[in-house]
Amino acid sequence: MRPLSVEPDSTQEKFLNRRHQVGRLWQALFLFSILVGIITLATLLFTIFNQSLGYVAIENKVDPASLSARPLEKLNKAELLTILEANLSKARLRQLNADIPLEERSTVDLYDIVIERIVDPVIVSTWSFSESLFTKPAILQEIAAKYPTARLEFKIWLNWRFITQAMSSRAELAGVRSALAGSMLLILFTILIAFPIGVGAAIYLEEYANHQSRLNRLIQTNIDNLAGVPSIVYGILGLAIFVRTLAPITSGQFLGIGADNGRTILSASLTMALLILPVLIINAQEAIRAVPGSLRQASYGLGATQWQTIWHHVLPVALPGIFTGTILAVSRAMGETAPLIIVGASTFISQSPSGPFSMFTALPIQIYNWTTRPQDQFRNIAAAAILVLLIALLSLNAIAILLRNRFTKKL
Amino acid sequence: METQLQPITTATPPVEMKTRLKKRRRLSERVIQGFLLLCGVISILTTLGIVFELGKESLLFFTSPQVNLWEFLTTTRWQPTIGEFGVLPLVNATLMTSFFAMLIALPLGLGSAIYLSEYATPKARSILKPILEVLAGIPTVVYGYFALTFMTPLLRGIFGQDTVEVYNTLSAGLVMGIMILPLVSSMSEDALSAVPRALKEAAYGLGATRLETAIKVVVPAALSGIIAAFILAVSRAVGETMIVAVAAGSGPAFTFNPFHSAETMTGYIARISGGDLAYDSPDYNSIFAIGLLLFTLTLFLNMVSRRLVRRFREVYE
């Protein structure tokens, strides 16, 4: 070996500097990898936000000014009624009366009918938020050239009406009420089915199973492998078993009620339950494993049986962790689309589902359906529906985090 | 467990009381244990159900007069309406989208993992990692929307409206890569942080820089875990449905052009079953045959990945 010199060798120093330079370059590259992910996330969220509000050009079939001298929203019930009677065909009036007699309807309701049936505003073009913000003159020019009778309006697509309104084939009238109700019911039944089975399986594997036994090893390996099966395969399984083979049960015909085929909430919930079970079991197993063994020993020491120990001592401590894991699994189910397409959630359901045996639609299905339509307005309401879905997921995850924090404090 | 259950008694209780206690408790405990075992067995039933249903309907598909297994695997036209069943266009499209996804997810995922485990301060890590994890929590249909409304227009802007079709495999693949990035990153990071400290300190002690330690010592030591992450990522990409259903196009096409539309296996299943589907038609049976192909492929990849993960755990734990 060369003796170390006090004066650093200049070539050696150069070499060292170079190594450090390369090190810094790569460090920057590694950081860049993360930043790409984060920037994409930001872009994704911005794209959705950007599409969910902006200018729209609206053309009225009938000019509201020709119906009444005063603005329509200021009219009282009687005035609205005269407008309706003057402008709607006899058949249409009879139809509306058969539904609920016009005299008994509220002013707001009548106003909605006047707008929908007579004024009939049609959105002819839409712009995103950023376009609305930066290119307003160009938009005004375009409207003047293409749609001379249209008026420009700033529309926030995600509004109360959008959440409470039922489906419609026209984007500006469509809402997500039935889809939201469908998703909620779907999640509810999925939890009811998957939670007891998942927690039961986790208890068995952690507390009872002898890990040498071949059956138990098979169950564990199997669960791990099922967690990686693509969701669409579960959809195919659900179609074959729940929708088709078990149609008399899942359609509710065995009770004499329900739909005429198996494409119901129950089928979809069963499919979703199978889909989230592996993840739910794995999460619950971790929660149960985290319970200190001394707790069990103390319980046995006092003469409790194994089930008494589990029920009174292990489960109460593991429960927050199990809940957290369940919520995370369920939030996956909430965003899943592919299995629902396969088991046949319908896209055009205007009524909210009433129980496990009704046909249904769900938020992700609606998003998919609207995204694949060519018209711009549907892009806008798809973005609004995505915001609803993301907010729902965010609240679910917030609950999970709250539970997790409480859990960590306790131990 | 059994031995812990035996009550420790110094004085022997009367014989009849002992048996009574034993019997009653054992019975209810047995029932509960049996029920819990049943819960576990449901997972096995699920697998059997998948294999049975996919197998049964696939068998119907392959035994139908129009279909021939050899042609299924080797010909390049998929048009069920005129009786042409060559699965290669669908497989090819799946491979293409997965390839683009891997092009994004593998380098960026590994880069992120190295940064998080070797460079980031604990504080930076506690901020960066959760943000990356948000990417994993976004529903895939939202990524599909993103691919169609952002990525495709971007690609069309860069390469020209005429070269890039509205639906194309590149856009779907790239967005899928971003979706899979957190999976690669978190699994690789687990593998990297499982490498014993002693190895790293030895490298530093020999005068290696941070980069040299990371690339020449930590990454090779964690290699089986990293490869496991890569394989699982491939499996995820192959099975991904919504992004390709929205952005890659609907219509089987045998093309290697990333700017052209082509339907993947999962996209085909989603489109066919989305419409009104008559049971026992070749269309209906074909989704099971393709499903079986998909299931076999992903199951194989998952098992290889799991085995690799177990190996690196055994080495260091």
The reported pLDDT for the residue numbered B3 is 47
Each of the 317 residues of chain B gets a pLDDT tens digit; together they read 444 555 555 555 555 655 555 555 567 888 888 899 899 889 889 999 999 989 998 888 888 887 888 888 888 888 877 778 888 999 999 999 999 999 999 999 999 999 999 999 999 999 998 898 889 889 999 999 999 999 999 999 999 888 888 899 999 999 999 999 999 999 999 999 989 999 999 999 999 999 999 999 999 999 888 999 999 999 999 999 999 999 998 888 888 888 999 999 999 998 888 766 777 777 888 889 999 999 999 999 998 888 888 876 666 65
Residues A207 and A334 in one domain: yes
**Cα A14 off chain centre by:** 57
Residue A338 covered by a domain = yes
Domain count, chain A: 2
Coil, strand, or helix at residue A267? Answer: helix
The reported pLDDT for the residue numbered B203 is 93
Residues of A in contact with B178 (CB under 8 A): 36-37, 40
Asked if ipTM goes beyond 0.90, one says no
Do strands A151-156 and A53-60 pair parallel, antiparallel, or not at all (unpaired)? antiparallel
Residues A284 and A356 in one domain: yes
Residues A111 and A258 in one domain: no
Residues A201 and A79 in one domain: no
The reported pLDDT for the residue numbered A211 is 78
The reported pLDDT for the residue numbered B2 is 45
Measured distance CA(B313)–CA(B191) in Å, rounded: 9
CA proximity to B184, closest of B295, B305, B93: B305
The reported pLDDT for the residue numbered B90 is 92
Measured distance CA(B246)–CA(B224) in Å, rounded: 34
**CB spacing of A208 vs B209 below 8 angstroms:** no
Residues A374 and A239 in one domain: yes
Residues of A in contact with B287 (CB under 8 A): 236
**Cα B1 off chain centre by:** 36
Domain with A61, as residue range(s), is 52-156
Coil, strand, or helix at residue A152? Answer: strand
**CB spacing of A383 vs B115 below 8 angstroms:** no
Tell me how far apart the terminal alpha carbons of chain B are, to the nearest angstrom: 25
Superfamily of domain B88-316 in the CATH hierarchy: MetI-like (1.10.3720.10)
**Which of B107, B134, B299 faces A41 most closely, judged by CB atoms?**
B134
Instruction: State the nearest Cα–Cα gap between B101 and chain A, in angstroms.
Output: 13
Tell me how far apart the terminal alpha carbons of chain A are, to the nearest angstrom: 56
Residues of B in contact with A223 (CB under 8 A): 43
Coil, strand, or helix at residue A56? Answer: strand
Instruction: State the nearest Cα–Cα gap between B74 and chain A, in angstroms.
Output: 24
Residues A141 and A186 in one domain: no
Residues A151 and A219 in one domain: no
The reported pLDDT for the residue numbered A411 is 47
Residue B69: count of CB within 10 angstroms of its CB: 12
**Which of B47, B144, B279 faces A244 most closely, judged by CB atoms?**
B279
Of A89, A121, A156, the position where a domain reaches its end is: A156
The reported pLDDT for the residue numbered A195 is 95
The residue whose two tokens read 């939670």 is A195
Residues A148 and A181 in one domain: no
Residue A43 covered by a domain = no
**Which of B29, B41, B139 faces A305 most closely, judged by CB atoms?**
B29
The residue whose two tokens read 């076999």 is B296
CA proximity to A197, closest of A276, A252, A250: A276
What DSSP string runs through A346-367?
Answer: -S---SPP-STTS----HHHHH
Residues A183 and A152 in one domain: no
Residues A116 and A212 in one domain: no
Residues A222 and A136 in one domain: no
Question: What's the per-residue H, E or C state across B92-103?
Answer: HHHHHHHHHHHH
Coil, strand, or helix at residue A263? Answer: coil
**CATH code for the domain in which residue A391 is found:** 1.10.3720.10
Residue B255: count of CB within 10 angstroms of its CB: 16
**CB spacing of B36 vs A204 below 8 angstroms:** yes
Domain boundaries, chain B: 14-63, 88-316
Residue A141 covered by a domain = yes
A204 close to A284: Cβ distance less than 8 angstroms: no
pLDDT along chain A (411 residues), means of 10: 60 88 93 94 94 86 76 78 80 78 77 78 85 86 82 85 80 84 91 94 90 85 89 92 84 72 87 94 92 92 90 90 89 90 74 77 90 87 93 89 69 47
Residue A267 covered by a domain = yes
**Which of B49, B149, B305 faces A237 most closely, judged by CB atoms?**
B49
Instruction: Find the closest chain A residue to B292 by CA distance.
Output: A233
Query: Where would I find the H helices in A68-176?
Result: 77-87, 90-99, 107-113, 129-134, 136-146, 160-164
Residues A268 and A348 in one domain: yes
**CB spacing of B287 vs A23 below 8 angstroms:** no
The reported pLDDT for the residue numbered A137 is 86
Residues of A in contact with B49 (CB under 8 A): 237, 241
The reported pLDDT for the residue numbered B92 is 93
A with B: how many residue pairs have Cβ under 8 Å apart? 258
DSSP state of B8: P
Residue A33 covered by a domain = no
The reported pLDDT for the residue numbered B11 is 54
User: Which of A275, A336, A337, A366 best probes binding to B when mutated, by most B CB atoms within 10 angstroms?
Assistant: A337
The reported pLDDT for the residue numbered A259 is 67
